[in-house]
A and B are shown apart, each in its own frame.
Chain A
Amino acid sequence: MAETKGKRQEYTTDFIKADIGNVSFLGNVHIDNIMTALIAMGAEIWTDRRRIRVLESLLEKKGVTRDMVEQYVPTAEEEATWKKEREVLVDRMYGQFARQGSEFNISSDWKNK
């Protein structure tokens, strides 16, 4: 019968759930997960870029042109702050590249520790 949530009539039924969450297309579910995260990150980048484009258009109507944005020279204080932020971003994104790691896998025991 139709299900309800609280006082609301949803007119829904039970359903037969897809099992897509159990499959790996790339041979290792963690690689699948990383690839999915990369796709999601691309969408986030575009989402931010599109908002910036809207802001640029609105600012241009207020007299702040794209050329003024291109030509803007940061103050020394801004340069220093942005440099720090940039370095944090690089570390957060690529810090893993420096990891030595080991050959242990999930089924490794403790005898070599």
Chain B
Amino acid sequence: MSNHFNRRSVMGGAAGLAGAIASISGTSPSNAKLPTNDIEPRGKTGKLERLPTLDLEANEEFLTSLRVFINGELTQAAAKSAAATASAKGIKPGQDVPLAEAFEILKSDPIVAMRNHSWQHLQMLMWDNLKREFHGNYDAYMAEMEAADKAGPGKLELNPGIEPAYTKHEIHMQPGGYTGDPFAGHIYHYGTNNFYNGGNYQDELHMKMASAVPVPKDGKVLRILDQGCSCGQLTVALKQRFPDAEVWGIDIGAPMVRYAHMRAVDMGVGANFRHALAEDSKFPDGHFDIVTSYILHHEVTLEASQKIVAESHRVLRPGGVYYPIDFNTNGKKLLGGASPYAKVREWMTYRWNHERWLMDYQAFDQAAEMTKVGFDVINGPTSGMDSFNAAYAGSNFVGIKKA
């Protein structure tokens, strides 16, 4: 466990160290203008507050490199090995097999087993490293959030007790999930830097998505809602693209919006955050010009997804734009293919990466739901997800609320 600071006694020294490191790496040292309780002993690299110890940063970057290897070379090797194993057992390429049979075929394939183990356990180690850091310095990090809760320029609204059971799972095995750990936002932000294979340290993907969000035909953008905003990266990027608009990020994880707000305060961005369900946002009818979400729908129940589409329609004004971004939204297409390996991988994601509502999502037809509640639906611009994984290209629909 990290014991790198007793903040109140060490910050002076830490700032000096950060300055020394900055001088050789091009990063900025701790910022003296920030609120008293701001913890960034190693300063920032661009938008990203550096992890508070060199050891933790190096450990996480190793796990990111390992993820690149596992997702690339090792997964390709596993797929090749699985194809050979299946072929040896009489399965033809493209042949659809039931999941139980797929498991039976591949249970003795050592490379598939190694890939599955490595993928899951790398992720467990990643979460564990981050949790140890933030919980190991509990009082300091809690004090930092408490100080930021009431700070501006944006607002923070917390509504304890509104979380339905379906939101309380440890999706991705994240300890405590989005609702049960006070540092869920901290852990999610640095953990997902690993998910993005190191390609989103400066919110590059979220900025690309924000720039792709379509504007209503009349050009009027006064208010924007970002549903399921997690740690607020898209919300902040939207506020930066539309600086004159009132931008709200909502999420059912109170620790997530606390972190999102704290980060926005730290960046000087006036985005607002509310602890709220996407399907019950508590905003008035016709309030927003644009409603967005990013990888929200595959993490909620089918019933919630349907309600979220209806809620989006309710809170948009006539002519307003709904732009939900997620993996392929036409159902049954997440990983593609019917091969034994594709089936086992999909199961692994659902069952052991605890994507608890993935199968609900597969049964969800986004475009049909949008049409049902009254949107005109068109194929949207590429969102940036396609640069993350080519398999997701062209998967986004845009809903226009009829006048």
Contacts and interface: CB of A to CB of B under 8 A. Distances in A.
Given A16-B169, A43-B62, A57-B24, A1 B124 contact: no
Interface stretch (B115-123, B216-224, B263-271, B316-324): B115-123
B117 A32 contact: yes
Interface string A1-44: 11001001011111111101001011100001001100110111
Contacts of B177: 15-16
B170 A18 contact: yes
Given A11-B255, A16-B177, A18-B173, A43 B165 contact: no
A22 B14 CA distance: 41
B111 to A, nearest CB: 11
Contacts of A17: 170
Contact of B254 (A11, A14, A44): A11
Most A CB within 10 A of own CB, among B66, B118, B160, B255:
B160
Contacts of A12: 176, 179-182, 184, 254-255
A89 B202 CA distance: 41
A43 B182 contact: no
Contact of A15 (B54, B66, B161, B170): B170
A32 B120 CA distance: 11
A10 to B, nearest CB: 4
Contact of A36 (B125, B180, B181, B182): B125
Interface string B254-295: 110010000000000000000100000000000000000000
A83 interface: no
Given A2-B160, A12-B254, A25-B116, A50 B121 contact: no
A43 B24 contact: no
Given A26-B114, A39-B122, A58-B24, A15 B180 contact: yes
A35 B118 contact: yes
B354 to A, nearest CB: 5
B368 interface: no
Interface in B345-398: 352, 354
Q: Tell me if B's interface is mostly helix, strand, loop or mixed.
A: helix
A47 interface: yes
A25 B179 contact: no
Nearest to B182: A10
Contacts, number: 113
A51 B114 contact: no
Interface residues of A, number: 34
B109 to A, nearest CB: 11
Interface in A46-79: 46-47, 50-51, 54, 57-58, 61
Contacts of B63: 43
Nearest to A44: B59
5 A-B pairs with least C-beta separation = A15-B180, A2-B160, A11-B254, A25-B117, A46-B62
25 contacts: A2-B161, A8-B146, A11-B160, A11-B255, A12-B184, A14-B168, A16-B170, A16-B177, A20-B352, A20-B354, A25-B117, A25-B120, A26-B117, A35-B114, A40-B125, A42-B66, A43-B62, A43-B125, A46-B58, A46-B59, A46-B61, A46-B62, A47-B55, A47-B59, A58-B20
Interface of B: 20-21, 24, 54-55, 58-59, 61-63, 65-66, 113-114, 116-118, 120-122, 124-125, 138, 142, 146, 158, 160-161, 163, 165, 168-170, 173, 176-177, 179-182, 184, 254-255, 258, 275, 352, 354
Given A11-B160, A50-B61, 16 more contacts: A12-B179, A12-B180, A12-B254, A12-B255, A15-B169, A15-B176, A15-B179, A15-B180, A16-B169, A16-B177, A42-B66, A43-B125, A47-B62, A50-B58, A54-B54, A61-B24
Interface of A: 1-2, 5, 8, 10-18, 20, 23, 25-27, 32, 35-36, 39-40, 42-44, 46-47, 50-51, 54, 57-58, 61
